[in-house]
Amino acid sequence: MFISRTILNSKPTAIAIINNSIRNASNKTKTGIVMMNMGGPQKIEQVYDYLHNIMTDRDMIQLPFAQDYMGKWIAKRRTPEVQKKYSEIGGGSPILDWTNKQGELLCKKLGEILPNHGPYKHYVAFRYVNPFTKDAFEEMKRDGIEHAVLFSQYPQYSCATSGSSYNAIYNYLKNNEAMKDLKISVIDRWSSHPLLVKCFADLIKEELHKVSEKNRKDTIILFSAHSLPLKAVNRGDPYPSEVGTTVNLVMNELKYCNPYQLVWQSKVGPLPWLGPFTDEAIEGYVKQGKKSFVIVPIAFVNEHIETLHELDIEYCQELAEKVGVEEVRRVPAPNVQPIFISALADIVKHHFENKVPVTKKFLNQCPHCVNSNCYNSKKWFKSVASF
């Protein structure tokens, strides 16, 4: 850098100003890691808006008619029941706190293993509750981010979850002139990453060791993931196969030490959904004489209502007592396990090293997709994603 002789001969305060400006320029955050997820209401008062946003999102749920009206009605009807559930886990979802902790640790790790693309800062982009997509990108604009890595926090891709989040980003950025110079790239799925697999395997081992010795080797490992409507499965949604991939890799890491089964939770509404359902599987196994279980939230990376209430309270407590389960343990979500943070960092590192801004799998629509927003979104990402 050229510095004039006049400045070099000036007072120490002038040199200090120059040094500070150089240091500030070098410390400017270059890369934003956008951590995308559904989110969850942090307060009871947010539950209705959260449900309303879900029920009126056609990428998430396709109601048979009058979606805006029906979605509003369903959200209003379900709000008291869901508020009660949140009150029983402390009054709100911890997903934002966990995501922020994960993001901070991830960016610290990236600064160590991939310094040339840093400094890094994480941004949370929730789909149905604040901070929304808009909030994340407005903050990145203020921070002068050069490159945004759109990092889905769903390891297994579904059109209803990851797809909806990417469509929301497309709708926000497609005509946004203020952010036309922002470089973006996409990490859309990571169901088979070795460190994710090892993280779950290690957590399962810990819980199995807590099971009584007489039950341990016959304990059934139930891998529980959020279900999908069969209509979405038949349309070609890749989620079930990607969840199955994670399950098989985890069991391979565990050397198939125990009997296991992939089951599905969180069905909503009367339409047919992918099964067997977690609660019905537990009941069925008990009828077969099986009474010891370890439940694994295989598609969730942090604690929220579906782990803390549905798994812990509804299944591990209430259902287990009702049907006569002898032992049941629930594996914690990865949260901030060091190996999980290493997995996240390694995924981003390879993303930069491989320089594939968006995968062909992401750009390929489901064979029976009729969602024009999805078509336009993928076409747009193909044209703008870059390094």
**HEC profile for 126-179?**
ECCCCCEHHHHHHHHHHHCCCEEEEEECCCCCCHHHHHHHHHHHHHHHCCCHHH
Would you give the distance in Å from CA 160 to the centre of its chain? 12
Q: What's CA 220's distance to the chain center, in Å?
A: 26
Burial of 376 (0-12, 13-18, 19+ CB in 10 A): middle
Residues 6 or more apart in contact with residue 175 via CB below 8 angstroms: none
- Residues catalogued as catalytic: 193, 346
Distance (Å, rounded) from C-alpha 319 to C-alpha 293?
Answer: 12
343 close to 196: Cβ distance less than 8 angstroms: yes
Which residues lie closer than 8 Å to 85 by C-beta, 6 or more apart? 305, 309
Question: What does the alpha-carbon distance between residue 140 and residue 120 come to, in Å, rounded to a whole number?
Answer: 11
Question: CA of 223: how far to CAs of 102, 119, 127, 249, in Å?
Answer: 23, 37, 25, 12
The CA-atom distances, in angstroms, between 29 and each of 112, 199, 351 are: 15, 30, 18
Give one DSSP letter per residue of 50-66, joined into a string: HHHHHHT-TTT---SS-
Q: Which two tokens mark 114?
A: 């991939």
Q: Where are the alpha helices (DSSP H) in 238-337?
A: 239-253, 278-287, 305, 320-323
Dist. CA 179–CA 34, nearest whole Å? 15
Angle, helix 47-55 to helix 67-87, in steps of 10 degrees? 140
Angle, in degrees to the nearest 10, between helices 164-173 and 133-143:
50
Task: Give the number of C-alpha atoms closer than 13 A to the C-alpha of residue 154, restricted to the C-beta side.
Answer: 26
Closest listed residue to residue 95, CA positions, set 239, 278, 300: 300
